[in-house]
Structure 1
């Protein structure tokens, strides 16, 4: 019986969630399986992989063939590297201590990469948030300036309004001396006619 390590799809439409299972190669994708080894969630960034390392290593050593995606997942988690190191141990090229030290060094390096990626993602998210806040503040200031400009009459209208208020006063002043001059003219006209 050919066994495969493969993904079994779960989750809703557009949000897949996978179980990593060992199944007979002839079984349907979401059908019967022999053993569940872990889970894989590609919806998070970076993807969340939870796997039982020892069981998976036993299955790989016993001949279970991973699919392409599962091979990438197992490589990412170090199962295939551990199998490779154990092969060197069987041949006598490495000792048990060397295998463990090499694998631990690889795990530390991998953990550093993952932590670096998470920090970069967090920093990028924070930078994007700050840029969005700055753009929003700038837009708010532009709107406030536009509203202030709309509510304040333009300079030409202010000058025209000042001229209109000054013009009636000036006309009233010119009319008043004319009215005062008119009685004097009437009085002088009466004096001339009396003579």
Structure 2
């Protein structure tokens, strides 16, 4: 029996939510499965991935083949890298300590990238909010100035006759 690690779709139209499952390759997409390994939510930014790391690694080591999307998810979470390092230990190229050290360094680097992306997204969102507030305040001031100009007493008519009388007075002299 060929087993696959694949996505099982849930959620409503336009808002997908996936379970990461191990299933027989002949079973339908949303049909029977052997074991549920985690979940994947592409609606958030960055996407939310919850995986039982040990169970997934065990299934990958026993020969379950991930689909293309699941392979990308497992690579993102480090399951495939851990399998690669375990292969190096079996061949004698690495020791257990070296493999654990490399995996810990990779995990720290990956976590740093993820937190960097989250902070850049939040800072961009805050900056956009500040720009929108500044533009709104400017529009409000312009509207207030326009209303004040409209409601101001007609002082121009009072000044106009005074200017006309002044040249006439000069002509009389």
Per the TM superposition, whether the score is higher than 0.5 is: yes
1:135 is matched with 135
Q: CA deviation at 1:82?
A: 0.2
Question: Match of 1:182?
Answer: none
2:111 is the counterpart of 1:123: no
2:170 maps to: none
2:99: which partner in 1?
99
Measure how far apart 1:156 and its partner are: 3.7
- Secondary structure of 2:129's partner? helix
**In the TM superposition, what is the alpha-carbon distance from 1:153 to its structure 2 partner?**
4.8
In structure 1, C-alpha distance between the alignment counterparts of 2:137 and 2:74, rounded to whole Å:
47
Choose 1 or 2 for highest CA Rg. 1
Task: Evaluate the alpha carbon distance shift between residue 65 and residue 158 of structure 1 in structure 2; reply closer, same or farther with a 3 A threshold.
Answer: farther
Q: Please report how far the alpha carbon of residue 155 of structure 1 lies from its aligned counterpart in structure 2 after TM superposition.
A: 5.2
Cα offsets for 1:94-125 (capped at 9, x unmatched):
00000100000000000000111111011101
Report the RMSD for the aligned CA atoms in angstroms. 1.5
Scaled by the length of structure 1, what TM-score is found? 0.80
Q: 1:89 to 1:148 in 2, by over 3 A?
A: same
> Which segments of 5 or more consecutive residues in structure 1 lack a partner in the other structure?
167-195
SS in 1 for 2:8: strand
Offset from partner CA, 1:147-189 (integer Å, 9 cap, x none)? 11111256543435x66xx9xxxxxxxxxxxxxxxxxxxxxxx
1:63 is aligned to 63
Question: Is 1:90–2:93 an aligned residue pair?
Answer: no
* 2:6 paired with 1:3: no
SS of residue paired to 1:10: strand
Q: Which consecutive residues of structure 2, in runs of 5 or more, have no partner in the other structure?
A: 166-173
Q: Which has the higher helix share?
A: 1
| TM superposition shift of 1:26 | 1.0
1: distance between equivalents of 2:157 and 2:109? 72
Local SS of the residue matching 2:74: helix
Q: Following the alignment from structure 1 to structure 2, what is the Cα–Cα distance between the partners of residues 154 and 68?
A: 75
Distance 1:77 1:158, change over 3 A: farther
For 1:168-179, list aligned pairs within 5 A.
none
CA distance in 1, matches of 2:120, 2:83: 31
Residue 24 of structure 2 aligns with which residue?
Answer: 24
